[in-house]
Amino acid sequence: MTRWMRSGPAAVLLAATVAWGHGTEEHGAAPTPSAAAGPAFTLPKETQFLLELRTERARVRSLEARLVAPGKVIPRTDRYAQVASPVPGIVTATGSAVPLVGQRVKKGQVLATVQQSLSASESTGLSTGLLQAEAEATRAQAALEQARKDLARLESLKGVVAEKEVQQAELAVRTAEEELNRARSAKEVLSGARQGQGTARFTLTAPIDGVLVEARATVGAQVEPSRPLFTVLDAAVVWVEARVYENDVARVESATGALVHSEAYEDQHFPARLYHVGQMVDESTRSVRVLFELDNKEGRLRPGMFVEVAIGAGGAQQVLAVPESAVVEEEGRSFIFIHTAPESFERREVVLGVRDGSWRAVRQGLKEGERVVVQGVATLQATRGGR
């Protein structure tokens, strides 16, 4: 080993005739080469180690045929909120500083205080606004009561109705509660402004727990209701929105879930649950909106990211499989490297089947138990390229 290391980098190239040993495990008799097998080549153990080659035995796995669709990460509607001033005004200093982007806030935490001076014409408009706010609060109260009744009815039918219907009803209650809180807050602000000798001072609070992803308020700034000052996001759970063609809707409705892949995290697939299959077909694309829910406590998937959604819609199959990292694509053909002896390798053409996350089914060209190179394949291919 020491003598080989002294020979320098050239020895790596000269010795590259390739695989990393897998301990002291003994190989059985080499498999009979298939018609698609390339010539065998060798690579010393030392070189295998330097190239960081790793191998695994091919075995049968449970893979599921998947329908792949483009998707986009979006926030859950009850975990995303924008906060704006209900009336024009000026941000004033308070006992604590205005929070900054990236800070975590709690529901009810004061974000900013806004003060407004009202003219006579504004007072008239305020009276009209107050009437509208009162009507909106009444409507929001009625909507909340109805949402609670719907939830109670579905909860009494648990075991009869689908669990996702109960979840949607719970979401509807939370959304209605938030709408009522906003309506009551607007009503209180407008009522206070009307009774406050021409001035109104009110606070903006965080409607949910989360992180400030936008914070535009600065002390002394003039603000308008049309422009949100704060955006709060809780990305611990996100939705992934995918579009599937109308002909595939039946397959998606029976799906158990999906694997979500982002190019930002090349070797990872994030499991997601089917949340909702849309009821409308987009006339321009003939597609249906499908939502998947995904646990995202580490925050890796960010709203706005484009992703690939592999929907489990084909049923599980017991098939011989290898990791995606083991496959080399070349001129429309697929190859893998077989470790046939401690210092011997063979590049073999294979016919691939379904893809399930980071696994590929092998339909032809590989036998169960054969040892396949799963790491360092690109290096191995390049090392062998001149042969």
Mean residue pLDDT of the chain comes to 80
The β-bridge partners of 360 are 322, 355
Rounded to whole angstroms, how far apart are CA atoms 17 and 42?
4
Mean pLDDT in residue range 354-361 = 73
pLDDT score of 232 more than 90: yes
Rounded to whole angstroms, how far apart are CA atoms 46 and 154?
66
Query: Taking the chain, what is the end-to-end CA distance rounded to the nearest angstrom?
Result: 25
pLDDT in tens, 87-104: 888 888 766 678 899 999
Mean pLDDT in residue range 96-119 = 84
Higher pLDDT, 352 or 344: 344
Rounded to whole angstroms, how far apart are CA atoms 53 and 43?
11
- Helix, coil or strand: residue 150: helix
Please provide the CATH number assigned to the domain covering 66-75+236-315: 2.40.30.170
**CB under 8 A, 24+ apart: contacts of 163-167:** 164/274, 164/275, 164/276, 167/275
Mean pLDDT in residue range 63-80 = 87
Whether residue 41 contacts residue 348, with contact meaning beta carbons closer than 8 Å, is answered with no
CB-based contacts of 119, cutoff 8 Å, min separation 6: none
Count the alpha carbons within 13 Å of 235 in the hemisphere toward its beta carbon: 19
Give the pLDDT of residue 118: 60
Q: What is the DSSP string of 125-148?
A: HHHHHHHHHHHHHHHHHHHHHHHH
Domain extents in the chain? 2-63+317-384, 66-75+236-315, 80-230
Predicted TM-score (pTM) of the model is 0.53
Mean pLDDT in residue range 358-368 = 82
As its CATH architecture, domain 2-63+317-384 has Beta Barrel (2.40)
Give the pLDDT of residue 12: 36
The β-bridge partners of 259 are 271, 310
The three-point CA angle 352-249-309 to 5° equals 50
- Helix, coil or strand: residue 276: strand
Closest-CA residue to 293 (of 305, 308, 310, 276) = 276
Q: What does DSSP assign to residue 101?
A: T
Closest-CA residue to 323 (of 350, 351, 381, 362) = 362
